[in-house]
Structure 1
Amino acid sequence: MAPALPRIAFFHGGGSNSTISEIQCSPTAHALRNEYEFVFFDAPFERSAGPEVLPAFRDEIYQPYRSWFTSPNGIELTDGSGFESSGMMEEDGIDRVWDMMRQKGGNWVAAMGFSQGTRVVGGLLLDQQRRKEAGLFRNGDIDLQFGVLCMGGGAPMVSSISRDGSNKLDLIKVPTLHLHGTIDPNYQRGKEQFKTYYDPQHSAAIEIEYRHAMPWKKSDVEKFVQCIRKIAGFVPVQEKRGW
């Protein structure tokens, strides 16, 4: 029996879900099928369909559409809180996501997110980094080695330890790869996310001529996969931030 592959957690965009993201990510997951196992997670909140979801995923089998954040009274809860289960208030979003990953088990080595899901990835990486810096990282905790952020934008989801240092902007030093679509409406927000929250010595960005979508053309998938392999073994190089 072959040993289990290391796992990559995938977080969908706003107004999508794990079923849709598994389809959209299938060319990448297939190309890396002998190296990583992709596991797709569902956000807790229901909402309307997100950008580029319709009309392709309009059938009932692709619903409900979901979000990692809720906005009561029109104000987003940046920590992903607000979800109730059986009358009990759940944890903040990052704690909930760590629990979801622990319940699945396996050897988690990375997190990948699309659009809104990149904020979950950033939140996980920053939470892990700050817990290590504060001496709160425990033996057996999930230890993500890299992150991949696709067509993203916005600040990392706030965790409890991030909230305690909310006035302090720590650049994320866990190696990350950022995928931007040059004709994506999110293009500028993605570049701002990359420059604002990620250490330039530990991150790299690539661009493809796409709207708001995961790579599907063979040449683009191959380019993306090669860059994922590079970031998985990333050695900081100050003078090189793009591939």
Structure 2
Amino acid sequence: MDTSRAPTPRDTTPLPRILCLHGGGVTAEVFRMQARSLIKFLPDFRLVFADGPFYCNPGPGIVPVYEDCGPFRRWLRWLPEHPAIDDESAVEEVMYNINTAKEEDEGTGPWVGILGFSQGAKLTSSLLYEQQVRLEKEGKSGTEYKFGVLLAGRSPIVSFSDLSRSSATVAAGAISEGFLFEGVSPHVLRIPTIHVHGLNDAGLHLHRKMLGQYHDPETVTVIEWDGTHRVPIKKMDVEPITDAIYKLAREQGVDV
């Protein structure tokens, strides 16, 4: 076969990077496949996918399409059968896997954002809030993310240190499913975020609760689409999301 006319793959190593966090019962590689349309419409970013630290059964909708892509992983506990773990160890495991994915990536561009689906979206807001509160309380943080993208992110945020521990947040080692907090949260994320809500998602009320309780209304962009609990694939559903990412990134000084 004549490959002389084959296009040269684009070098994405210098592009600004977005950390991508999968949902519960998935893997980094499965999320990469689920997010293929997002990757296609974000050519000026390098998307880097991290694996969760804990093994578990496949999440909803993963079988049969991705059943051969295991072992499947999670970031947090959401079922009683998930082995108990103390909060400090849970934080260490999550951060180890994230930092490993970042260190092993060949890219050289700055880390400008986080994008997560489902449990990964919950983690997105939690990590951004940890960055924000550390800057406020300690004057420094190990990350400089400019924005976050939550695809179907449900309430609440997760506490990653004493700075965010309260009745409004779930502990890193606790079971997050069924968590109930009805008051006004003292933990409000002001780092800009895009919230993508599927109008036919059974967890939509929890996604809206996450938005309303834990995010500053002045710094959020909400995108609704006619979908269930999955990553959008069709161009008509994906383009509004990627357009919003470009707009927000530029507003935050990202060179794209």
Q: Which TM-score band applies after superposition, normalised by the shorter structure? A: 0.7 to 0.9
Q: Once the 2 structures are TM-superposed, how far is the Cα of residue 41 of structure 1 from its aligned partner?
A: 0.5
Q: Which moved more, 1:159-168 or 1:198-207?
A: 159-168
* 1:63 pairs with one of 51, 70, 73: 70
1:175 aligned to which of 180, 183, 192: 192
Q: Relative to structure 2, which stretch is displaced further, 68-77 or 192-201? A: 68-77
State the percentage of identical aligned residues: 29
1:149 aligns with 2:150: yes
Report the Cα distance in structure 1 between the residues aligned to 2:85 and 2:220, rounded to whole angstroms. 24
Taking a change above 3 Å as real, the CA distance of residues 98 and 135 of structure 1, as seen in their structure-2 partners, is farther
1:118 pairs, out of 118, 121, 126, with 121
Aligned to 1:87: none
1:24 and 2:41 are equivalent in the alignment: no
Equivalences for residues 30-49 of structure 1 within 5 A: 30-33=40-43, 35-49=44-58
Task: State how 1:92-103 maps to structure 2 within 5 Å.
Answer: 93=94, 95-96=95-96, 99-100=99-100, 102-103=102-103
Q: 5+ residue gaps in structure 2?
A: 1-10, 169-184
Give the C-alpha shift of residue 120 in structure 1.
1.2
Does residue 14 in structure 1 map to residue 31 in structure 2?
Answer: no
1:48-87 alignment, distance < 5 Å: 48-59=57-68, 62-70=69-77, 82=89
Cα 1:165–1:64, aligned 2, differ >3 Å: closer, same or farther? same
Equivalent pair of 2:116/2:124 in contact (CA under 8 Å): yes
Runs of 4+ in 1 over 6 A off after TM superposition: 75-80
Whole-Å separation in 2 of the counterparts to 1:136 and 1:79:
28
- Partners of 1:164 and 1:40 in 2: CA distance: 28
CA separation of 1:135/1:70 partners in 2, compared to 1, >3 Å: closer, same or farther? same
Q: Which runs of 5+ in 1 are unaligned?
A: 84-89, 236-243
Q: Deviations over 1:23-60 (max 9, x none)?
A: 01011111112x1000000001111111121221112x
The one-letter amino acid paired with 1:169 is P
- With structure 1 as the length reference, what TM-score do the two structures score? 0.81
CA–CA distance in structure 1, aligned partners of residues 157 and 163 of structure 2: 10
Over the residues paired in the alignment, what is the CA RMSD in angstroms?
2.7
CA deviation after TM superposition for structure 1 residue 221, in Å: 1.4
Deviates more, 1:175-184 or 1:45-54: 45-54
* Displacement of 1:82: 4.5
Q: How many residues were matched structurally?
A: 223
